Homo-oligomer: A and B are copies of this chain.
Amino acid sequence: MDRRDFLKGTAATGVFTQAGGSFAASAEPRRERRIATEEAWSTAAHMRAMDELAALPSDNLDLISRRGVPTDGPLYRALIDDEERLRQMDELGIDMHVLSLTSPGVQMLPADRAIALAEQTNDRMAETVARNPYRFAGLASFAPQDPVAAAREMERAVARLGLHGFVVNSHTDNRYLDEPFFWPILEAAEALDRPIYIHPRAPADTMAGPFREHNMHAAIWGFQAETGTHAMRLILSGVFDRFPRLQIVLGHMGESIPFNLWRADYQFERRRERQRSSLVPSEVFRRNFTITTSGVEHDPTLRYCIEVLGADRIMWAIDYPYQPMAGALEAMNQARISDSDRALIFHRNAERLFHIPPL
C-alpha cells in the first residue's frame, strides 16, 4: 500500500489523518480536528422563497441559474437534510461543518421580507447547532438591504443565538459593502468580533454582460470575478482604515486575489498619493482577510497560497453539497505541507476566527 492508498484508507476510517510522510514533525500520525468552513445549508422556507423569485421574469444571472436546478432534486435536498449531512461527516471523520445559508441568501428579496427570513433562518440554524454543538457551527444571515436592521440582527445572532460569524453573498442590488450605506454592517461585525464570509454569487447586473454566454457566470469563472472584485473594492476603498479589526473570509482560495497581490501592491505604490487606503493591498489582505480552500482540491495552489499569505490565513472548506466531502478531505490529508500548517488550516484558524472552543 503506497502513501496515497494509506491516506485514502485512513480518510475513510477516520482513525488517522496526518501521515505527514517526509513532512511529519513526529513519527506518530495524529488525528487533527477537521472543521469545514464553507458548507451550504438552507431551510424549506428559504428554498420556497428562492423558487418564487426564480419564477419572476428576470434576466438576472442568479435567477437564470436557479431555474436550471430542480428544488426537489438531490442537490437542494442535501441543503436541508441535517441527518444525511451528519451521516456523511461520520463516515469520513469530519468533525464539524460551519453552516451558512446558501447563496444568494435573502439578498434578492424585498427588504421587509429579507429581514424576516434572515431572522427565521438564523433561529433555525441556531437550533441545528444547539442539537449538535460539536458538529455544527453557524454563520448568520442578514439583510444588507436595510443595514441598520442588519446590524441589529447580527448582534442578536451572536449575543442571543450564539452563532459564529456572518455570511453575505457578494453584491446586494448591485451595490458593494464598501459604500458608506453599508457601514453599519461592517461596524457591527468589528464590534462583535466575528468575521463576514463573502460568499460568491453570479456577477452583478452591472457587470453581467460578458458572463451571459458559455455558462461563464457560475463557479467556472464568474463567481471569482464577482467576489474578487467585491473584495478588491473593500481593500482599495480604505474601509479597513475605518474598521481596522474587521475580518473578512473569502472562499475558493481567495477568489484570485492571492495570485494578483504582488501586482496590486506594485500598482498601488505607483500612485500612492491617490490611494484611499493607508495600507498596501497585501498588508490589508494579510491582516483583515482569511481565505478558505472551498472548491479547490489542488495541492500546488494550497502551497502557493501558504507561501504568499501564511498558513494562519487559510481555513479548510468543502463547499458541500456543491462539491462532495470526500475529495476535499483527501486533498487536505494528502497536501504536502507541514503538520503545524495542516493543524492551522484544518481547525486552529477556524477556532480562533469563529470563536469555536478547542476540544
Contact = CB atoms under 8 A, between A and B. Distances in A.
A236 B210 contact: no
Contact of A259 (B210, B276, B301, B323): B301
Nearest to A175: B210
Contacts of A176: 210
A275 B214 CA distance: 8
A308 B304 CA distance: 11
Interface residues of A, number: 57
Interface in A198-221: 203-211, 213-216, 218-221
Contact of A267 (B209, B218, B268): B218
A262 B297 contact: yes
Contact of A237 (B214, B253, B260, B307): B214
A204 to B, nearest CB: 6
A213 B266 CA distance: 19
A259 B237 CA distance: 25
A88 B259 CA distance: 30
Contacts of A266: 295, 297, 323
Interface stretch (A160-168, A184-192, A225-233): A225-233
Nearest to A258: B259
A110 to B, nearest CB: 22
A310 to B, nearest CB: 12
B233 A216 contact: yes
A209 B216 contact: no
Contact of A274 (B171, B215, B225): B215
Nearest to A179: B213
A87 interface: no
A210 B207 contact: yes
Contacts of A230: 210
23 contacts: A171-B210, A174-B209, A205-B209, A206-B207, A206-B210, A207-B208, A207-B210, A211-B229, A213-B237, A214-B232, A214-B276, A220-B264, A220-B268, A221-B236, A221-B264, A224-B263, A225-B228, A256-B260, A258-B259, A259-B301, A263-B298, A266-B295, A300-B304
**7 closest residue pairs by CB, A with B:** A206-B209, A262-B298, A214-B236, A259-B259, A207-B207, A220-B267, A304-B304
